[in-house]
């Protein structure tokens, strides 16, 4: 049922509002008129109830107005910074277990004020357009978007590092690959792009009693993929492989297959079932550090899912299923057809800015500030938070309060002394610093509250915004 007011209802509210307006120079904003009209329709108010509602809203509206020359900046600063001293310095995690960490308290507040491009715990809440989506469909989607790296699909997560031959090697686990709904051919392609000189080998049971494993090394990636395609590995994953994979697992760390027979790909290939595909890479640099770097680089190659979505937690409210993620990639998630693009959001304000724009960013900064303060049980008037969100975004770009970049609010102060209030010892070579201001002869008029308070002068706001002058009353016989 729709509760949207018609133009006739809006006109009626405007008429009653003007008739009850004792303060003729104060009118309701259009949004107030629309909200009152919607409430009039939704709750089926009588004319007398409507008049009473308008009078009470007007009283609250007038009480909430800021007086002329009110120092809203300093007041907002004090209203937020004082409660911030009571904040905790901890990272909170849901349900008392370490399944999903979320930064709260003062660290999160500083992330917002600094507009950090790299945050401690990026996360997303993902909602679905279909409210009747089943748990099985949610689980399938969660598996689809979770980022998979090479380390997730190798046997025992083990990469053998041989410092003598200056090489690394690892064996892929077919069962893990199947569980992630991936294909070995695609993984081989991705790994080859990162390590072009790396070699792939197919491992099978040997027909020779003297050998445990028969190893066929492929110099050509196309020949390897042809063999894999011919044997239709994706359809041949079965329980019979598990015993073979266990044997490979035992052999991987001890290097038991050193005596395995190497065959060229062009020779006849055994028809024994494939146990695994092995990757070997020999580093050109004879350096232990480089070899360890190659180990980490190989383990962290992304082979599936959406980048930066490291983990997905499935949750359910009374009405629907939704997902919470460890990691954030708003752009790619919103491209998924089943995702609700309106409610899905990220706690990474830079992603909000890049994907949804400056207005969405302003709203997100406000919501994040309010959530942080509410979680700590701190009561701050929302107008102070709105002022901070407006000040960080009103130029059309995201600006932060601290730092020395061109997006810094400190950087854009006209006053030399105001900029100096944020200086550090190593700032003397910054051309916007007080040091450079003295060199080029900058003039500071001391108009702002920050610089005036630094020199002990009253600010031009509040009671300091007017000068009271009084003529002397000359009495008879007086001077």
pLDDT in tens, 306-323: 999 999 999 998 889 999
pLDDT grade for 145, boundaries at 50, 70 and 90: very high
Evaluate whether 204 touches 174 at the Cβ level (below 8 Å). Answer: no
When the candidates are 3.40.50, 1.10.1790, 1.10.3470, 2.115.10, the CATH number that belongs to 66-121+347-412 is 1.10.1790
281/294 Cα distance (integer angstroms): 9
DSSP 8-state class, residue 180? T
pLDDT grade for 128, boundaries at 50, 70 and 90: very high
- State which H helix or E strand residue 178 sits in: helix 174-179
406 pLDDT more than 70: no
Question: Cα angle vertex 31, ends 113, 79, to 5°?
Answer: 30
Predicted local distance difference test score (pLDDT) of residue 462: 81
Question: Cα angle vertex 273, ends 188, 155, to 5°?
Answer: 50
Lowest average pLDDT, out of 142-146, 190-194, 237-241, 353-357, goes to 237-241
pTM for the whole structure: 0.74
215/117 Cα distance (integer angstroms): 47
- Give the closest residue to 301 by CA, choosing from 473, 115, 159, 462: 159
Q: What is the dihedral of CA 211, 215, 216, 217, to 10 degrees?
A: -140
Predicted local distance difference test score (pLDDT) of residue 342: 93
Strand partners, 280: 169, 199
249 pLDDT more than 70: no
Predicted local distance difference test score (pLDDT) of residue 244: 41
- State which H helix or E strand residue 31 sits in: helix 30-42
Estimate to the nearest angstrom the gap between the alpha carbon of 28 and the chain centroid. Answer: 38
Over range 192-196, report the average pLDDT.
92
Predicted local distance difference test score (pLDDT) of residue 19: 84
76/221 Cα distance (integer angstroms): 63
Rounded (10°) angle between helices 47-64 and 7-19: 60
Predicted local distance difference test score (pLDDT) of residue 168: 93
Which residues are within 8 A (CB) of 207 and not within 5 positions of it... i.e. 6 or more apart?
Answer: 214, 270, 272
262 pLDDT more than 50: no
Other residues' Cβ atoms within 10 Å of the Cβ of residue 32 = 16
78 pLDDT more than 50: yes
Q: Where are the domains of the chain?
A: 7-64, 66-121+347-412, 148-304, 425-458
Predicted local distance difference test score (pLDDT) of residue 24: 60
Is residue 391 exposed (0-12), middle (13-18) or buried (19+ Cβ within 10 Å)? middle
């Amino acid at each position: 049922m729709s509760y949207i007011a018609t133009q006739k209802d809006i006109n009626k509210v405007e008429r009653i509002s003007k008739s009850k307006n004792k303060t003729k120079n104060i009118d309701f904003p259009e949004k107030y008129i629309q909200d009152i009209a919607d409430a009039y329709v939704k709750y089926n108010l009588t004319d007398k109830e409507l008049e009473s509602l308008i009078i009470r809203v007007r009283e609250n509206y007038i009480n909430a107005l800021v007086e002329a020359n009110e120092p809203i900046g300093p007041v907002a600063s004090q209203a937020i910074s004082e409660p911030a001293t009571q904040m905790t310095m901890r990272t909170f995690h849901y349900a008392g277990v370490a399944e999903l960490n979320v930064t709260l308290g003062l660290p999160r507040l500083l992330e917002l004020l600094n507009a950090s491009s790299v945050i401690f715990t990026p996360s997303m809440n993902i909602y679905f357009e279909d409210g009747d989506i089943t748990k099985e469909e949610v689980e399938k989607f969660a598996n689809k978007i979770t980022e998979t790296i090479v380390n997730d699909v190798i046997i025992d997560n083990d990469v053998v590092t041989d410092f003598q031959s200056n090489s690394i090697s690892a064996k892929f686990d077919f069962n893990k690959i199947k569980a992630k709904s991936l294909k070995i051919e695609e993984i081989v392609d991705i790994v080859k792009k990162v390590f072009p000189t790396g070699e792939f080998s197919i491992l099978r049971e040997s027909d020779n009693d003297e050998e445990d494993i028969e190893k066929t090394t492929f110099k050509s990636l196309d020949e390897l993929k042809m063999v894999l395609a011919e044997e239709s590995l994706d359809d041949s994953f079965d329980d019979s492989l598990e015993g073979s994979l266990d044997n490979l697992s035992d052999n991987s760390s001890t290097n038991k297959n050193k005596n395995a027979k190497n065959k060229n790909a062009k020779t006849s290939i055994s028809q024994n079932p494939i146990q695994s595909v092995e990757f070997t890479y020999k580093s050109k640099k004879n350096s232990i550090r480089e070899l360890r770097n190659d180990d980490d680089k190989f383990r962290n190659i992304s082979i599936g899912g959406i980048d930066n979505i490291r983990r997905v937690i499935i949750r359910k409210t009374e009405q629907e299923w939704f997902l919470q993620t460890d990691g954030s990639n708003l752009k790619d998630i919103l491209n998924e057809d089943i995702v609700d693009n309106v409610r899905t959001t990220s706690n990474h304000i830079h992603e909000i800015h890049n994907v949804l724009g400056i207005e969405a960013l302003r709203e997100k900064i406000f919501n994040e500030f309010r959530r942080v303060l509410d979680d700590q049980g701190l009561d701050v008037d929302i107008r102070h938070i709105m002022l901070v969100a407006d000040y960080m975004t009103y130029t059309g770009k995201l600006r932060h309060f601290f730092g020395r970049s061109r997006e810094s609010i400190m950087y854009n102060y006209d006053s030399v002394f105001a900029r100096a209030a944020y200086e550090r010892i190593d700032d003397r070579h910054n051309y916007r610093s007080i040091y450079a201001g003295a060199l080029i002869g900058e003039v500071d008029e001391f108009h702002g509250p920050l610089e005036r308070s630094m020199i002990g002068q009253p600010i031009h706001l509040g009671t300091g915004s007017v000068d009271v002058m009084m003529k002397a009353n000359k009495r008879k016989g007086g001077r």
